[in-house]
Every structure is written in structure tokens, then in C-alpha cells.
């Protein structure tokens, strides 16, 4: 599973913490081993079950020597201090050992907290960065809720199911190996038998984990759908209420939620099966080992004293818990891998925006923009056919035509929100695809058809994306030009007023004037205005129009407008029909054509008043 290794690779920046975690885990394991085997021999001596050992045993690498040496030390202790004091001493020792064991255990998870959350933080940053840089076309194909689920829930799921068990993946094998070594030390023969039964149990538990990944995938997708519905509902509340669509929206949500419920229910049931099943299986193993080992002891077929056998069983029973948690870790990882895949799907999406190996830098626009045989389609849907025109520096071109003719699409091609399918767009003689994307976009100020605003102050909305320090007076100046200053000053907190989600606290026209102020402040050589004045009343439109007119004087502009009276001054008017340019010229030349498209459009609008 290469994706799993990629997740693991995220730990690299935290390798110091990881190293310390392993170190503290090893200490914890050693101390638990000591704490386990310490008490029984002492109690035996204390209550006279075991005779005092008075002679220091000769060293040999065996269980006998170890127990004898331990008993010898205990005996010495007792002779020196008396029984009660020795008991006290041992009790204190137990406390100290357990304190250390738990101290190291905490130290290990203390380190782990940084790794777990650090990795999650890094992945989330990477994901968000990716979302910012993916081409716009990518998102028209995606559900917003699904994207949000991936950044929030899926990443969290990685923390819960993978990072939380990473430690187990390191700790449990060490524990198991250490304990197995201790067992082997006590009785090699019996240990070999254990080694034979243990993997069988592990295998059975591992089997259930398989189906979990698929279900988890479904659950996250379903959650994404849920989030999309919530998002749509929140942003469309007015329409939903106005059209009495509550019932419908409710149904949509309930159905989706029910599906999510089904998947989660099945997943939980399967996951919860693992604990009882593994406990039952492990007790079967214990019973088997107890029977086989006990028989060996009783029939003296191995040299194992009854007592040592008890140690063996005690330590063996301790192996089962890490073995269980190890198999559970495996199980959890299966579940988390679904989220890992969903996250990497985004991270691995290639940039469809093609950039040359050595992009050209461009700081200023000097000559012209030229569309050469440009063709474009959204997916399989052709939208622009054979578009040719040249926009000279300082000129203003107006795009007019019926709704859906492709005007906004042309505007979107210039800052490369989409790339042409055929033909090329040249800027100062070079294909725009050869420039640095940032450089290219730096040259343009864009006012889109829908005002795009952020839930922030007016000031920050106007200064979006401007890296240099902007003074208040500059912002006020821009707002004045956009005819926005007056309404801003009427707000209780002026330029610091918050405007709500997507600017919901402002009127449509006010929103539009803010986006114009933003373009004015950026002061770019090229202006792209898509229906920039469409939501204004005729008085404000006139004012803004004048302002824009001033702004456009020493600039190169593309303006799109339905109201033809606003674009008559343009140096060139291009009439678009079904993705083709059907006419081009100044207002006067176009009006002079008897059966011209433009003339008809103008006459139609004049009739409507």
C-alpha cells in the first residue's frame, strides 16, 4: 500500500519525536516486564513457601539463576531488616517501578500527540494549498460538500484511524518480541508451540478488516453529499422558503442521512465485532496453551517446574493484549485507508494548467492581446468557435450578444481560468501559456458577473491580493472612484464593517461597487469587466460608468454588457452569437449596417425603453 507509506513519510519532520516515542515505549515495556515478575517470588519467601536463599548463586544464563539471584537478594533484605521492613521496602519498590513504567508510558504518548496532530495539520495544509492551485475547471465537476469533507473529516479520520494506531504498530511488536524472548528464556519448547498458535488467531481477526475500507469510503462520500445539501440550503434559504421548497429539501436531506446511517451502522457493527471476537479467540488460545503446557508439566515431558509454568502463563497472557491491539490497529488502518485515498485523490490531481519549464516573466503590458483561431469547449460541449480579434494597448473592446453566447467564457480565457482547446491567445507576441501564471494575472483587474466577496471587513475585501502596504487614503480613493465611498461611510463602522458571508449584508449594487473598487485599487494595465454595472440603478450606473470611463482611459479593457447604451464609446464592439463572432466594428459602423445583428439588438433595447 504505497499510500500508507506516503502517510508514514509525513512523519519525517517529526522524527525526533518519533525516536523519543520508541525509546520511551521500550522503557515502558521493560518496566512492565519487571513489575509483573517481581511480586510473586517475594510473597513466597515472605510467607515461608520458599526457603531463604543464603548463598549467592553462581552466574549462569538461565531461569534458575535469575530466580535464585532474585530470591537471594530478597533473603538478604529480609535478614538485614526483618520481615515487615522488607515488605515495606518491596512495596515501595513496586510503587517506584510502576511509577516509572507509567511515567514512561505517558512520556511516550506525550511525544505522540505532536506527531499525530502535526501530520494531520501538514496534510490539511497541503490539501488546502492544492485546492487553491487546482484549475477552476476541476471544481465545476466536484461537489463542494465532498471537497469540504475531504479537508475536514477525512483528514480527521486519518488521525483517528491511522495516526492513533501508529504507536501500536511500533510498540506492540516490540512488546510482543520482548515478552516472547522472556517466554523463550523460560521454556523454548512451549514458546515454539505458542508461536504456532498465535498467528492463526491474528489471521482470523485480520480477515474482517478487509470489508471495512470499502464501507468507510462509502460513508465519507455520503457525508460529502450531506454537506453539499447543507451548504446549498444555507446559501439558498431565501429561494427555498420563497418557493416553499422546505419539504423537498428536507426529503432530500433525510434520504441522504438515512443512507449515511445505514452505512455507518453496518460499519460500526462490523468494527464492534472485533473486540468480543478477539477476546473469545484469545481465551481459546490461552486454554489451549494451558492444556498443552500443563500436560507437559504434569507428565514431566519437559523440564519445567509448576511454578515457572505459572510465570510462563502470566507473561503469556500479557502478550495477548498487545497482539490484540496490533490486529485492531491493522483493522483500523484498513478503515482509514479509504480516507487516505480520498485525500490523495485531490493532492495527486494533475494541474491541467500547462506551464512551460521556464516560464517567461512579464511585468508590464506593452502592445496587444490577440485571439487566434480560438476554440473552446466545456467538456464535450463546444462553446467558442474560431474566435479571432486583436485588442491593442489603450483600446476598449466590448463584447455583446445573447445570453449564453460565450462572452464570459472569452473573459475567463484571458487570465487562464480555462485553457483554449485549439488556437492561441497571444499577449505581447507570446502565447499566454508561456508566462508565469501570477505575472499574467497581475496584469489584470477582473470584475466578474457575480460579485465575489469574503466574510471580512470592507477594507479587506477591497485590498484582497494586494501585497504591498495599502494606505487608508488609497482605499478611500478607490472606493470614491467606484462610487462606493458614500454608502460605506453610512455603515456604522465604515471601512471596518463586516459584510457577512459573500457580502450578504450588502445590496447587489453595493456588492458590485466593492468589486469595482477592488479592481480600481489594483490599478492593472488590463481591465476585464463582466457586467460590472448590471446591478446598479441608472443614476449610480451613470456615476460608476463615468468613473470606469476615466479608469479605462489609459488602460486596455474588455467590457461585457447587456445594456448596449453603456458600451457605445468602445473602440470596437464584437457581436457574439452562439460562440462565433458575427460582427465587429465601432458603434457607428455597426449601426450603419442595415440588417446587422448589432443594429437589431440596439433597436430592440430602445423599443423596450
Residues that bind Mg ion (CB under 5 A): 408, 449
Name the residue with the smallest CB distance to Mg ion.
408
**For Mg ion, the closer CB: 112 or 529:** 529
Examine residue 407 and tell whether it contacts ligand ATP (CB under 6 A): yes
Q: What is the nearest approach in angstroms of ligand ATP to the Cβ of residue 584?
A: 16
Residue 527's closest CA among 607, 415, 403? 415
Contact criterion met (CB below 8 Å) for 360 and 436: yes
Residue among 99, 378, 454, 549 that touches ligand ATP (CB under 6 A)? 378
Residue 436's closest CA among 366, 364, 351, 360? 360
In the list Mg ion, ligand ATP, none, the entry touching 243 (Cβ below 5 to 8 angstroms by class) is none
Q: What is the nearest approach in angstroms of Mg ion to the Cβ of residue 547?
A: 22
Contact criterion met (CB below 8 Å) for 584 and 597: no
Examine residue 404 and tell whether it contacts ligand ATP (CB under 6 A): yes
Residue among 398, 405, 488, 561 that touches ligand ATP (CB under 6 A)? 405
CA 277 to chain centre: 34
Residue among 71, 274, 325, 409 that touches ligand ATP (CB under 6 A)? 409
> Alpha-carbon torsion 359, 360, 366, 372, what sign?
negative
Phi (first) and psi of residue 574, to 5 degrees: -105, 130
Neighbour tally for 214: CB within 10 Å: 14
Q: What is the nearest approach in angstroms of ligand ATP to the Cβ of residue 208?
A: 44
Examine residue 383 and tell whether it contacts ligand ATP (CB under 6 A): yes
d(CA 129, CA 123): 10
In the list Mg ion, ligand ATP, none, the entry touching 557 (Cβ below 5 to 8 angstroms by class) is none
Examine residue 608 and tell whether it contacts ligand ATP (CB under 6 A): no
Q: What is the nearest approach in angstroms of Mg ion to the Cβ of residue 401?
A: 10
d(CA 118, CA 271): 27
Query: Contact region for ligand ATP (CB under 6 A) — 181-189, 236-244, 378-386, 429-437?
Result: 378-386
Examine residue 140 and tell whether it contacts ligand ATP (CB under 6 A): yes
Q: What is the nearest approach in angstroms of ligand ATP to the Cβ of residue 172?
A: 51
Residue among 75, 187, 274, 408 that touches ligand ATP (CB under 6 A)? 408
Contact criterion met (CB below 8 Å) for 346 and 154: no
Computed over its alpha carbons, how large is the radius of gyration of the chain? 37
Residue among 58, 361, 380, 403 that touches ligand ATP (CB under 6 A)? 403
**Binding marks (x or -) toward ligand ATP, 444..463, rule CB under 6 A?**
-----x--------------
In the list ligand ATP, Mg ion, none, the entry touching 304 (Cβ below 5 to 8 angstroms by class) is none
Helices (H), 187-245: 188-235, 237-242
Q: What is the nearest approach in angstroms of ligand ATP to the Cβ of residue 401?
A: 6
Q: What is the DSSP string of 515-572?
A: HHHHHHHH--SEEEEESTTTTS-HHHHHHHHHHHHHHHTTSEEEEE-SSGGGGTT-SE
**Interface of this chain with ligand ATP, residues 15 to 74, rule: CB under 6 A:** none
**For ligand ATP, the closer CB: 147 or 319:** 147
Residue 172's closest CA among 198, 191, 197? 198
**For ligand ATP, the closer CB: 378 or 549:** 378
- Cite the beta strand spans of 360-450 per DSSP E: 368-378, 381-392, 396-401, 422-427, 430-431, 444-447
Binding stretches for ligand ATP (CB under 6 A): 140, 378, 381, 383, 403-409, 449
Amino acid at each position: 500500500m504505497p499510500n500508507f507509506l506516503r502517510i508514514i513519510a509525513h512523519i519525517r519532520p517529526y522524527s525526533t519525536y518519533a525516536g523519543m516515542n520508541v525509546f520511551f515505549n521500550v522503557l515502558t515495556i521493560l518496566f512492565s516486564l519487571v513489575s509483573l515478575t517481581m511480586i510473586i517470588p517475594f510473597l513466597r519467601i515472605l510467607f515461608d513457601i520458599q526457603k531463604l536463599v543464603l548463598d549467592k548463586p553462581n552466574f549462569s544464563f538461565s531461569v534458575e539463576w535469575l530466580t535464585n539471584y532474585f530470591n537471594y537478594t530478597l533473603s538478604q533484605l529480609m535478614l538485614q531488616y526483618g520481615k515487615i521492613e522488607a515488605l515495606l521496602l518491596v512495596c515501595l519498590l513496586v510503587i517506584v517501578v510502576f511509577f516509572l513504567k507509567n511515567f514512561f508510558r505517558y512520556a511516550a504518548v506525550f511525544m505522540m500527540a505532536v506527531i499525530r496532530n502535526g501530520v494531520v495539520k501538514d496534510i490539511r495544509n497541503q490539501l488546502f494549498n492544492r485546492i487553491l492551485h487546482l484549475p477552476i475547471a476541476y471544481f465545476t465537476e466536484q461537489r463542494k460538500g465532498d471537497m469540504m469533507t475531504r479537508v475536514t473529516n477525512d483528514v480527521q479520520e486519518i488521525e483517528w484511524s491511522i495516526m492513533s494506531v501508529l504507536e501500536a504498530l511500533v510498540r506492540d511488536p516490540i512488546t510482543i518480541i520482548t515478552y516472547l524472548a522472556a517466554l523463550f528464556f523460560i521454556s523454548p519448547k512451549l514458546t515454539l508451540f505458542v508461536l504456532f498458535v498465535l498467528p492463526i488467531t491474528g489471521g482470523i481477526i485480520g480477515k474482517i478488516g478487509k470489508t471495512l475500507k470499502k464501507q468507510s469510503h462509502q460513508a465519507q462520500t455520503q457525508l460529502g453529499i450531506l454537506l453539499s445539501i447543507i451548504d446549498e440550503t444555507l446559501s439558498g434559504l431565501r429561494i427555498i422558503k420563497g418557493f416553499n421548497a422546505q419539504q423537498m429539501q428536507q426529503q432530500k436531506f433525510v434520504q441522504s442521512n438515512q443512507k449515511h446511517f445505514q452505512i455507518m451502522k453496518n460499519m460500526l457493527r462490523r468494527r464492534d465485532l472485533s473486540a468480543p471476537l478477539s477476546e473469545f479467540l484469545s481465551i481459546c488460545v490461552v486454554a489451549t496453551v494451558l492444556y498443552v503446557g500443563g500436560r507437559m508439566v504434569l507428565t514431566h515431558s519437559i523440564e519445567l517446574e509448576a511454578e515457572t509454568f505459572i510465570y510462563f502463563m502470566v507473561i503469556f497472557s500479557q502478550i495477548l493484549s498487545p497482539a490484540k491491539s496490533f490486529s485492531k490497529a491493522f483493522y483500523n488502518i484498513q478503515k482509514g485507508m479509504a480516507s487516505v485515498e480520498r485525500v490523495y485523490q485531490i493532492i495527486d490531481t494533475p494541474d491541467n494548467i500547462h506551464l512551460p519549464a521556464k516560464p517567461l516573466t512579464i511585468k508590464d503590458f506593452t502592445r496587444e492581446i490577440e485571439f487566434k483561431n480560438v476554440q473552446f469547449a466545456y467538456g464535450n460541449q463546444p462553446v467558442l468557435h474560431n474566435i479571432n480579434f486583436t485588442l491593442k494597448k489603450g483600446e476598449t473592446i466590448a463584447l455583446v450578444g445573447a445570453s449564453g453566447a460565450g462572452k464570459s467564457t472569452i473573459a475567463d480565457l484571458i487570465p487562464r481560468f480555462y485553457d483554449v482547446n485549439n488556437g492561441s491567445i497571444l499577449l505581447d507576441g507570446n502565447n499566454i501559456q508561456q508566462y508565469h501564471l501570477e505575472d499574467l494575472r497581475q496584469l489584470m483587474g477582473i470584475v466578474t458577473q457575480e460579485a465575489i466577496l469574503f466574510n471580512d471587513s470592507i477594507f479587506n475585501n477591497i485590498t484582497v491580493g494586494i501585497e504591498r502596504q495599502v494606505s487608508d487614503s488609497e482605499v478611500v480613493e478607490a472606493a470614491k472612484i467606484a462610487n462606493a465611498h458614500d454608502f460605506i461611510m453610512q455603515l456604522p463602522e465604515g471601512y471596518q464593517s463586516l459584510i457577512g458571508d459573500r457580502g450578504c449584508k450588502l445590496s447587489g449594487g453595493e456588492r458590485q461597487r466593492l468589486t469595482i473598487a477592488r479592481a480600481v485599487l489594483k490599478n492593472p494595465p488590463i481591465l476585464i469587466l463582466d457586467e460590472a454595472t448590471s446591478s446598479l440603478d441608472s443614476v449610480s450606473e451613470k456615476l460608476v460608468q463615468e468613473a470606469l470611463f476615466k479608469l479605462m482611459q489609459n488602460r486596455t479593457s474588455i467590457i461585457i454588457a447587456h445594456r448596449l447604451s453603456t458600451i457605445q464609446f468602445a473602440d470596437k464592439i464584437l457581436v457574439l452569437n452562439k460562440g462565433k463572432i458575427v460582427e465587429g466594428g465601432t458603434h457607428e459602423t455597426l449601426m450603419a449596417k442595415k440588417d446587422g445583428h448589432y443594429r437589431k439588438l440596439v433597436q430592440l433595447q430602445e423599443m423596450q425603453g
